[in-house]
Structure formats: structure tokens, C-alpha cells
Amino acid sequence: MTADELIQYLSWAIYVVIFVNVTVNAFRRPLPANIDIALYFTAFAVVIALTVITRIGSVPATDPLLGAILISFVLSLAYLLVRLVEDFSKVPRWIKLLSEVSLVVLIISAFVYSPPRPTWLSLLMILHLVGFLIYTIVAFLRESKRSSGVTKRRMAAVAAGSIFLCVDFIVAGFGVALPEEYTTTIQAITDTLGLASAISYYFGFVTPSLLRRAWQEPELRAFLGRAASLPRLPNTTAIIEEMQRGAANAVGAPNARIGLWDDDKKVLRFSLDEVETELAPAMNLTTGRAFLTQKATFTPDIARDNPLYADAAKANNATAILAAPITAGEKRLGVLIAYAPHAPIFADEDLALVQLLADQAAVILESRALIDEAARVRAHEEVALLKDDFLSAAAHDLKTPLTTLVAHTQLLERRALRTPDAPVDLASIQKLGKEVQRLRTLVMELLEAASAEQGKLIGKKEETYIVALAQEICARHHSARHPCLVEAQEPVVGQYDPIRIFQLVENLVENAVKYSPDGGDVRIKLWHDTGCNHLTVTDSGIGISREDLKHVFERFHRGSNVDDRRFAGMGLGLFICRGIAEQHGGTISATSAPGQGSTFHVELPADALREL
Ligand code: ADP
């Protein structure tokens, strides 16, 4: 066997393998594209069979009938390729017609003119083959550019196979016209081109799975690359939109949509540009079928299968639809659908990709659900913690005055029983009164903290002179241990709720005194600048650590340097102060360092007209 023969047999073997594969596939899935592919390779198989018949000498190679039949099948190759192109894109009617007429006329001529045939006829035959082949090559290349994933590469391989075949025909055609000494060279070239074409077609039509995976990788990788960050997007809608975009890119489809299953209403929910549509899954719709059967499904022609959707499909430039279920374990989450402007030629391939993406979508949606669930649990825990905080703070603070009250009342009772005529114990009654007052303050604080939370602290506003107010508070708390002074160069006036502003300043002054156990000045400064009234309360007490400073205005927060036995309190005063300042449209802040005293700064809008 010569090298030439070896090459030829090898290419024949490859063609036969392709023929068997695509024929089986056409029987399994009798879609137009699969049938046309099978017909194309049937023509190859017949050409090979006839050549073999002449080789083994059953029929002489010079037999005119055999020659005409052989030529007919070769000529039909170009026509069948045009049919195949029509399965995935639009072929102008005149080209289709021309290919049919040209095929019929040339086949008749092949039978009418027995060899040696006139040169013009041979030229016309080559023109037919080469012309239509070039047309289909361009169509395949264009489709390859348009599509993505495996389809893109398979289309390119098919185009390459046709290019080799086309050049093969050209070389063979011109070879006939060359002197005899070139025959072996021409033969070697055409055989090699035949092999190249067979290999390319093999990759294009019977793609080995290893290659398939490699070809799928870039698109899949791009999608997966983004997938990791998707669950952290702010909401599920943003995730869905991003996945739809990614899926459309990966599949090379103009549009992809995700429908989420609503188990209460038993519908699939699609949202597009903030418009929601619901679809009750039904077996007669591709989307419903994919969801109900839990199998990736495709419809090559929406208009034909679901005439109801014909107009919508046309408006969206969609001819075919691919749908895959999004499922995590047993949990049916929804469907992923991709629309394509043409029926996909390698539908199984695209369907496998859509299913892969749908599986990824399931992972992403599940991760998101887990993140949401974790946040819910955390919020729940925080609320529970807050309740605990509240209860322990309230119980603890209410307990001390209550114990004193109970003890004193019992004492008074015992005394009264023992010596009913004894004079009234004024000191004890005063002590009782003080404790009741303390109890009342605590209860008020608790109630006010709730109002602060709800933004309902402020009552009627009126012209309020803060300097006068501060002086009154200062006088009340002034002592030799804690001299209190007010510094103000001008009247500081605004429309405020005077009771609350009083409470705010008093709270700060009380704290300044309370947290300066070794005594020291308490200074209140007031001033005014454009549109703002300012008030600061400064002490030289125990101060606040940097870490505590961030939290002192939060409910129940008490400084780490504050011990409950020495400094009574619930950690609500500053929270209420912040509520008062903010609900007047102002702010409150603090600067301090441990052991260095503290300054609290309140800033209120001078015209505080904002009604809250
Ligand atoms: P309470 O005084 O009941 O604890 P507050 O809300 O008034 O509640 O204050 C919260 C915490 O801020 C206090 O526990 C204390 O640690 C810190 N704090 C407030 N004012 C001062 C101050 N003038 N000096 C030092 N620490 C202060």
C-alpha cells in the first residue's frame, strides 16, 4: 500500500465513522439539522462505496453509468450543505432555487453526456461545487462568530472541513487539465486535502467529549469567575439580572431569563426591567416542560410549537428556546431559559451548556438563601440579646431603690406598731420620697428611651433661650465640690421643645458631676454661628476610653471604667440625649480620654423649624 492509498483509506474510514454517528443521531433526534447532516454524509458514504466498487474491480472505473451516479452524488454535496445552512440561518430564496436547479440540470447532463464530457460541462460542475461551497463556508464562519462555547468551535471546524473540500475540488478540477506527469502530485495533494477535510468534519460533527469540554471551558470559566461574587450582591433581583446576563453571554444567545418558583402561588416568577410576569408551568410550553419534567428541553421553533407566543417571540427576535431546570438537590428553585434567533444546529450542545449554567445558578441561589438565613438568625440573636440587656439593666436598676423602699416601709411599720404615739420619723419619710423619685426617674428613662427609638420625643416647640436654661441647671447642680459655670457672650435662641432641651442639658451636667467623683469644675459653654447653636459641657472627671466613645450614645452602653456599684445608671441617658438632639435636626458628639475629663458637644440648627 502506498502512502497515498493509506491517506485515502484513512480519510474514507473517518468519513464512514462520521456517517454512522450522524445517522444514528438523526434517528435518535430527527430534527431538520440532524437529518440534513446525515444526508450530507450519506452522500459521502455513497461516493466512497462507489469508488471502492471500482477499486475492487466489480465494475470497471470507465463504466459511464457508474461515473454519472458518482458525479451526481458529488454534486449533491454542495446542495446538501446549502440545506444545512438553511437550518440555522436564512438562505435567500434565489440561492436555494439556484442550487436546486443547478443540481438537477448538472445531474441530467452527467447522464446525457457520457465521457469524455465537454470541458464546459466539467467547468460548470466545478463552478457549482466551488460556488455553493464558498457560500456555505461564509455562512458557517458567520455563525461561528455569532455563537459561543462549543457551538462556536464546532462551526469553525465545519467551515474548515468545507474549505479543505472546496480547495480539494479546485485542485482536482484543474488537475484534469494538466499533463499526465503531474497526476501523482495532484493525487497526493487531493488525498491530503481529503484527509484534512475528514478530520475537520470529524471534530465539527462528531466532537470527542474531551475536546467538547475544552471548547466549553472559556465561556464556563467566565461565568464561574463572576459566580463567586454573585451571592454577595445586595438583593436577589441584582443576582438574577447578573446571572441572566452571564448566561446569555455564555450561550451566545441575545437573551436569557431566570424564572423563580413561587411555591405558595405555584407559579414561575420572571422579572424583566422591574416588570414581573408569572407563568403557571404547563407541559405544552417549553419552560413549563423543563420545570415539570426536571429535564433540559428545547423548542427549535417557538411560533410553530406555541402559536400563542408567536408574536412575543418575534418581537424578542427569538426563534428557538432552550430551558433547563434550576434545582438544588430535591429543591426546585426555578428555570433558566435562553432564547436564540435561530434554531441551534448543535442543540444538544447548547442544551448541555444551559443545564450547566442552571446548575451553577442553583448553587448561587442556594448560597444567597443561606446568607439571608444567616442574617435573619443574627438579627434574631441581636434582638434576643438586646432584650436580655434591657431586662437585666432595668431589673438591676429598679431593684436598688425598691429594696430601700421596702426596707424603710417595713421599719416605719414596725415602729408605728411598737410605739403608735411616737412622733413621725421625718428623715425616713424623706428618704422614702427620694427613693420613690429615683424610681420614677428610672421608669421615665425607660419610657423615654422607647419614645427616642420611635422618633417621638419632641413635643411643642417654642422660642427657647438656652443660656437661661443652662444657668438654671447649673445653679441646681452647683456645689463646692462641683463648681458649675456658664460661659456665653450672646443670647443663644432657637425654636425647640424647651422641656427636652432642659432634659438634654441637665443629663449632660448630671453625668459631668456623677463621673467626676473627686470633684472638679463643670463648664457649660454656649455660642452661636451661622445657622447653628452650640453647647458644650466639660468636666475633669474619669473620662471615656476611645473604644467606649464609639458606643456611649447607644442604648444600655456603659463605659468599661464605670462600675455599677459606684456609678448608678442604666446607660440610657445619652441615648435619649442623642434622640433629643437628632429629632431637633441636630447632632451630639463627645471627645474624651480616660482620666482627662470629657466634653460633650451639642449642635442644634438655630432655626430648628424642621418638624419631626
Ligand atoms: P448612665 O450614666 O446611666 O450609665 P448614659 O447614657 O448617661 O448612662 O452614659 C452612658 C455611659 O457613658 C456611662 O455609663 C459612662 O460610661 C459614659 N459617660 C457619660 N457621661 C460621662 C462623663 N461626663 N464622663 C465620663 N463618662 C461618661
Q: Average pLDDT, whole number, for the chain?
A: 87
455 or 335, greater pLDDT: 335
Using the mean position of ligand 1's atoms as its centre, give its distance from the Cα of residue 600 in Å. 11
**At residue 609, does pLDDT exceed 50?**
no
Using the mean position of ligand 1's atoms as its centre, give its distance from the Cα of residue 505 in Å. 14
How much is the average pLDDT of 312-325?
82
Using the mean position of ligand 1's atoms as its centre, give its distance from the Cα of residue 494 in Å. 27
**At residue 298, does pLDDT exceed 70?**
yes
51-91 pLDDT, tens per residue?
A: 998 888 777 767 888 889 999 999 999 999 999 999 878 89
Does the C-beta of 511 come closer than 6 Å to ligand 1? Answer: yes
215-272 pLDDT, tens per residue?
A: 878 877 887 877 777 877 877 888 888 888 878 877 767 788 899 999 899 999 887 7
How much is the average pLDDT of 84-113?
92
pLDDT at 83: 94
551-578 pLDDT, tens per residue?
A: 999 988 899 999 877 887 888 899 999 9
Using the mean position of ligand 1's atoms as its centre, give its distance from the Cα of residue 565 in Å. 14
Using the mean position of ligand 1's atoms as its centre, give its distance from the Cα of residue 513 in Å. 11
How much is the average pLDDT of 107-120?
88
pLDDT at 273: 67
pLDDT at 610: 41
Does the C-beta of 574 come closer than 6 Å to ligand 1? Answer: yes
Lowest-pLDDT range, 121-130, 387-396, 552-561? 387-396
Of 449, 461, 469, the closest CA to residue 602 belongs to 469
What is the three-state SS of 70-116?
HHHHHHHHHHHHHHHHHHHCCCCHHHHHHHHHHHHHHHHHHHHCCCC
Atom of ligand 1 nearest to the CA of 561: 16
**To the nearest whole percent, how much of the chain has pLDDT over 90?**
47
What is the three-state SS of 234-260?
CCHHHHHHHHHHHHHHHHCCCEEEEEE
pLDDT at 98: 96
Band (136; pLDDT cuts 50, 70, 90): very high
Residue nearest to atom 7 of ligand 1 (CA): 573
- 116 prior amide bond cis, ω within 30: yes
Band (523; pLDDT cuts 50, 70, 90): very high
CA distance 327 to 335: 8
Strands in 412-483 per DSSP E: 462-465
588-602 pLDDT, tens per residue?
A: 999 999 999 999 999
**At residue 612, does pLDDT exceed 70?**
no
How many Å is the maximal CA-CA distance in the chain?
153
CA distance 162 to 24: 22
pLDDT at 357: 86
Does the C-beta of 562 come closer than 6 Å to ligand 1? Answer: yes
430-461 pLDDT, tens per residue?
A: 888 888 887 887 788 777 877 777 778 888 89
Residue 63 and residue 90 in contact, taking contact as beta carbons nearer than 8 Å = no
35-51 pLDDT, tens per residue?
A: 999 999 999 999 999 99
**To the nearest whole percent, how much of the chain has pLDDT over 70?**
97
To test ligand 1's pocket by mutation, which of 515, 536, 554 has the most ligand atoms within 8 angstroms of CB? 515
**At residue 473, does pLDDT exceed 50?**
yes
**At residue 13, does pLDDT exceed 60?**
yes
DSSP state of 2: -
Using the mean position of ligand 1's atoms as its centre, give its distance from the Cα of residue 552 in Å. 7
pLDDT at 29: 82
CA distance 221 to 218: 5
